[in-house]
Amino acid sequence: MNVLVIEDDKRIAGLVERGLRENGHEVVLSHNGREGAEMMLNGRYDAALLDIYLPGMDGFEVLEQVRARRCKTPILMLTAVDAVPKILQAFDMGADDYLIKPFLLEILLARVSAIARRMQPAVEPPVVLAGGITLDRSRRVAIRGGKEIYLTRKQFELLDALMRRSGMVTSRDQLIEAGWGYLADVKENTLDVYIHGLRAKLEDKTHDKLPLIRTIHGTGYMFVTE
């Protein structure tokens, strides 16, 4: 894979570059946020590693700029910032995964491979129908009773995973992988917070006796069709 590493700490950047190259990947380095954003927008990369605290433009600004211009390169945030609000902000802005420093190189390599693999084209239906909800993948919007319900990136991915397994239990691990990625270090209540927000958006108080997304204690959640 061709990997872009945007990291101002040259020691860390060098270690990451060596580890990626030893595993057969091509690596391009940038030590400046503004330069890194331009490289991502003008190049073709299978994955990008993005630090938050960067000169020129911080990682959140880079993320916002490249996603606003519809750059689909998978982005793994690589940073010492471990505050939950910052992590959630990164995911909502379009990050595909998040790894906190210090980290094991083996974990980094596994996550880079995982996010790039998830971006490979897959044959999936453009629309999912279940429980009176239409999920339009092309526009990333849910429709209920003719009303469009706009979702955040993570809410959409969680609802997609639940609806594709409607009537079956979707485990917490399956939902975390769908929303945050393989091996993501997601705190216990983070998933619950997202599910709560998703329920609130889908709720139709005039028809719903019970929520469409049911909690299966000790296991996960289920999207019900009745």
Mean pLDDT, the chain, integer = 86
Alpha-carbon gap, residue 222 to 201, rounded angstroms: 17
Mean local confidence (pLDDT), 177-198 = 82
Radius of gyration of the chain (CA): 19
The tens digit of pLDDT for each residue in 46-102 reads 999 999 999 999 999 999 999 999 898 999 998 887 778 888 888 888 998 888 888
The tens digit of pLDDT for each residue in 159-187 reads 999 988 888 899 988 898 888 876 567 77
The tens digit of pLDDT for each residue in 199-214 reads 888 887 666 667 889 9
CA dihedral sign, ordered 9, 4, 160, 168: negative
Residue ranges, CATH 1.10.10.10, the chain: 127-223
Q: What is the DSSP letter of 142?
A: E
Q: How confident is the model at residue 132 (pLDDT cuts 50, 70, 90)?
A: confident
Cα–Cα separations (whole angstroms), residue 72 to 40, 64, 96, 168: 10, 12, 10, 31
> DSSP letters of 96-140?
SEEEESS--HHHHHHHHHHHHHHTS-----SEEEETTEEEETTTT
List the CATH code of the domain at 127-223.
1.10.10.10
CATH architecture of structural domain 2-118: 3-Layer(aba) Sandwich (3.40)
- Is the model more confident about 211 or about 121? 211
